[in-house]
Amino acid sequence: MWAGEPSRFDLAPGYPVKLLPCGPHTEAKIYEKKEGHGPQLSGIREAYDTHVANFKQARENARQNMLKNLHLFHRARVAFFQWNAEFLSPTAFEIVQSFIPGGENRANVDEVDVLVVAFQELNNLSDSQHEKFIRKVVGALNALSTHRTWSSRESKFKELSTVIGTKAHAQGWRANRQAIYTIVREGVIDPQKTRTCSWSFHLREKGFVAVSLKLNNLGRFLAVGVHLPTKKGQSKFLSDVLDEVVDECVPSRERGKGLEYFAAGVYVLGDYNSRLSAQSAQDTVDNLKDESAYCDLFDLPPTPPEESVLAHQLLYMTDYERADKESRFAPILWAADSLGGADDFDEGAGDLRESLLQRKFSTVTACYAAPFSFKWQKSCVPGKDAKMAEVTKRCLTEKSKKDVRDTGFLDRLSICMPNSSIPPSESELPRNGAFVTHAEQLLNLRSDHLPQLFIVDIIRRKEPPFPSHDDDSVFPVHKEGGKKAEARKRSKTTYW
């Protein structure tokens, strides 16, 4: 009853939160622009199949083969909750929404070993408030679990110590901040080996927060919460962040390994500000004019003069709720997505995908069956059982209808997993893998971003390729920067 009528129990956001599945294709191979598919529909479909549909199917086949031979592997299942919670203090109820029984496609809390929660632009909280939040989430998870083994004692948080928030004086002297939490079941990690690390650009909210866990039998795992700037220097900033992740999170004696030190993978969760590419979107939609299957895109009601025809066409795709949405529109949205398959990106932003590929990230989450994750009117009430077109008409910001670059799929998870390539033959088992098995958005409009939930199945061979010792005796002492950061300061790098 309390989940169905949250307003009666004073539970934020005050209405039942609808879960919006991302569709069957929950992960994508990171696209290299040099592969260039062009604006023609045939080329886009071929590239989409290669990087999304076929990529996902091959990985799911490999995962199923590994599960059939699970006696050869170790395994951990990690849920990642991502939310740019602008000037909010999220509640435990909002975090566990996806695990509350009832309805289709619900995530099963009994099939999760670790929960990672990343926030950006969060209200500035005290340590005791963070600890209280963890206890409440642990209590909620245990209430929903068959085996009540979630542990506050073994869970951890890290808040980014920033001085300058995203909006000057919005909270007086209290700048909003990033924070990350790792909430774990008993027996999954070695709690004595948990470490935290972080870095901020000139003490601003942009940067990263991270928690490193020693997963039993699997090795080191790093969860990174990140917030990237909007446009200028975006790709350069991500490169700098990933350099700082190595400097701040890898023990000094192991730093030569880079991110491959983390044998169980590196998971970068956050607000990438990966908006739609205006040029890619325009070129793609223009080339649909002669495609009879897409005549509905050019038969829409007249667009108000102050708004963008292209923005309304893309909004029509995200509103579309028929069974053929994935096959019709997912390739088009992917081709317009700056962290998907866009062939062009905004001037000055750079290519985020290149920064990830250079550091051996291979996978990024995909959510083209659900609506845009940004930009929504805060505190708008979506309405019970409302169609998505009704929700976006009432609750998507007017600015999003004027320029496609003011909307998109901003909130993502990208994965770097050592030795995780899929063998060409299905009869050959992979050594390791990190597979996105579940992805959804939550229609919670307390912020201007929709919360996201991703579940990753981490599977590794029992013969560990990583060292038996765990050299974390000399973790870096966190400073705002380090030598590389100082060099960047001297070069007067700016990102805004």
Token pair belonging to 257:
């390994």
CA distances from 193 to 10, 214, 224, 460 (A): 38, 6, 17, 20
- 110 versus 15: the higher-pLDDT residue is 110
H helices present in 156-251, as ranges: 234-249
Q: Is the pLDDT of residue 466 over 70?
A: no
Q: Which pLDDT score is estimated for 495? A: 45
Q: Which pLDDT score is estimated for 319? A: 95
Q: Which pLDDT score is estimated for 36? A: 77
* CATH classification number, 14-275+350-397+409-490, choose in 3.30.70.890, 3.60.10.10, 3.40.309.10, 3.10.450.40: 3.60.10.10
Please count the CA atoms within 13 angstroms of the CA of 289 that sit on its side-chain side: 5
Residue 467: pLDDT band (50, 70, 90) is low
What value does the mean pLDDT of the chain take? Answer: 90
Of 2-6, 8-12, 85-89, the range with the lowest mean pLDDT is 2-6
Token pair belonging to 89:
């203090």
Q: Which pLDDT score is estimated for 470? A: 58
Q: Which pLDDT score is estimated for 472? A: 56
Other CB atoms within a 10 A radius of the CB of residue 298 amount to: 12
pLDDT digits (tens, 9 = 90+) for 151-195: 999 999 999 987 677 775 555 556 789 999 999 999 999 999 999
Going by their DSSP bridges, the two strands 266-271 and 219-227 should be labelled as: parallel
Distance CA 210, CA 156 (A): 10
Q: Is 119 exposed, middle or buried (0-12, 13-18, 19+ CB in 10 A)?
A: buried
The pLDDT of 276-290, averaged and rounded, is 95
The pLDDT of 10-17, averaged and rounded, is 84
Select from 204, 201, 266 the least CA-distant residue to 237: 201
Long-range contacts of 315-323 (CB under 8 A, 24+ apart): 315/392, 315/396, 315/400, 315/401, 315/407, 318/371, 318/372, 318/388, 318/392, 319/371, 319/387, 319/388, 319/389, 319/392, 321/387, 321/388, 321/389
H helices present in 123-264, as ranges: 127-144, 234-249
CA angle 165, 167, 172 (to 5 degrees): 75
Token pair belonging to 494:
């700016």
Q: Is the dihedral of CA 33, 35, 37, 42 positive or negative?
A: negative
pLDDT digits (tens, 9 = 90+) for 405-447: 999 999 999 999 998 788 877 778 999 999 999 999 999 999 9
Q: Starting from the edge strand earliest in sequence, which strands make up the sheet with 266-271, in order?
A: 27-29, 363-365, 411-416, 266-271, 219-227, 207-215, 195-200
Question: pTM here?
Answer: 0.93
Residue 490: pLDDT band (50, 70, 90) is very low
Q: Which pLDDT score is estimated for 491? A: 40
> In whole angstroms, what separates CA 397 from the centre of its chain?
22
Other CB atoms within a 10 A radius of the CB of residue 324 amount to: 9
Q: Is the pLDDT of residue 484 over 90?
A: no
